[in-house]
Amino acid sequence: MSIPVDYKIPCDISEAVWNNALQNPARIVAIKAEATPTVWLKKSTTVEGAFGRWVLTKFSNILKLPMLQAVHQPGGREAIATEASRLQALAVAGVQVPELLWQNEEMVLISDLGRKLTNYLKQHRNNHQIKLDVVKQVFTALSELHNSGQYLSQAFARNVTVLENADEISIGFIDFEDDPLETMSLENAQARDLLLLIYSLSTYFDNCQSEYQALVTAQIFPLPENIKQQLRCFMSKFSWLSKLPGKGRLGNGYWRLTVITNVLRAGLEERAN
């Protein structure tokens, strides 16, 4: 990556600290300067995995599930521009995302947004109530985000953060280097958010599966009908998973997919009964 030399070092970061961050081979670097909060430098990079995305898109076309299409991964300067644009749009909509502190064509500098949800869930692995409470807040935050007409980029648990303030916590979202609306409709993108979140969170609830499924089922009830229809389509395509023989040998990935179909079935059908 070529680093421009004709810019002023941002945010009163010292030259030594800034140069260390630039020279760090990591793509995302934490910058901790004296008397200032931690900030994060994200650098442009190339993107691999084009064949895998092509396969996923073909798979989604066959199943007629546009929400499963692979989202365009721009990489490089385009990804940096996308991140900056999406952070600004989400912030205007009132979503808790990192503050965009500085940008150029090759990099963005953003504020810290607390600890990752995945680390929080690991810390409280054996405290089921704490895990359920924070995940309920995650779904509430996602619902508010969707109600504002917004959507995430990659709604995996690893891209959710927990901000702890005294005895209260709040939920934030990170990582916006791609834009799903380049590939799919808003309702597809919002349904995709829910599917990715349910899938990725389920691995942290293997020791309280029924409680997790009950919590997620309750999130389905108030969804708008257009989103429910997207989820019904997904459920109808994957309902056969529960009928597979030898399910116990298929591993955690299978279990997480069955969690999605089970909670969707319960959430979408229970009110009709």
Model confidence pLDDT, tens digit, residues 134-158: 999 999 999 999 999 999 999 999 9
Least confident residue range of 33-37, 106-110, 158-162, 251-255: 251-255
pLDDT at 244: 55
Mean pLDDT of 220-236: 88
By the 10 Å C-beta count (0-12 exposed, 13-18 middle, 19+ buried), 216 is classed as: buried
* One-character DSSP codes across 21-69: HHH-SSSEEEE--TTS--EEEEE------HHHHHHHHHHHHHHT-GGGS
Please give the residue that has the higher pLDDT: either 184 or 239.
Answer: 184
Give the span between the Cα atoms of 23 and 254, in whole angstroms.
Answer: 42
Predicted local distance difference test score (pLDDT) of residue 273: 47
Q: Are 74 and 178 in contact (CB under 8 A)?
A: yes
* Contact predicate 174/136, CB 8 Å: no
| 79 token code pair | 């990804």
56-83 confidence digits (pLDDT tens): 888 788 878 888 888 888 889 999 999 9
pLDDT confidence of residue 1:
43
| pLDDT given at position 2 | 44
Query: What residue ranges do the domains of the chain occupy?
Result: 10-43+74-111, 115-272
Mean pLDDT of 221-228: 89
Q: Residue 54: what pLDDT?
A: 79
Share the mean pLDDT of the chain: 87
In degrees, rounded to 5, the angle at the alpha carbon of residue 60 between the alpha carbons of residues 86 and 239 is 115
Read off the tokens for 65: 């599930």
Average of per-residue pLDDT across 103-131? 95
Give mean pLDDT, residues 183-196.
95
pLDDT for the residue 6:
54
Q: Could you tell me the pLDDT band of residue 270, with boundaries at 50, 70 and 90?
A: low
**Of all residues in the chain, what percent carry a pLDDT higher than 70?**
89
What pLDDT shows up at residue 186? Answer: 96
What value does the mean pLDDT take over residues 94-99?
Answer: 97
Average the pLDDT over 19-41 and give the result. 89
- The model's confidence at residue 169, banded by pLDDT at 50, 70 and 90, is very high
Q: Give the pLDDT of residue 167.
A: 80
b/e map of 3-28 (b: 16 or more CB within 10 Å)? Answer: eeeeeeebeebeeeebeebeeeeeee
Among all chains, which residue has been given the structure tokens 């009132």? 94
**Do 261 and 239 form a contact (C-beta atoms < 8 A)?**
yes
Residues 6+ positions from 244 with CB-CB distance below 8 Å: 250, 254
Do 206 and 253 contact (CB within 8 A), yes or no?
no
65 phi and psi angles, rounded to 5 deg: -125, 85
Q: Kindly tell me if the per-residue pLDDT of 28 is higher than 80.
A: yes
* Cα distance between residue 110 and residue 43, in whole Å: 11
DSSP label at residue 70: P
- pTM for this predicted structure: 0.88
- Residue 70 has a pLDDT of 86
179, two tokens: 């834009």
Q: pLDDT at position 255, please? A: 67
**Partners of 102 in the β-ladder:** 109
Architecture of domain 10-43+74-111: 2-Layer Sandwich (3.30)
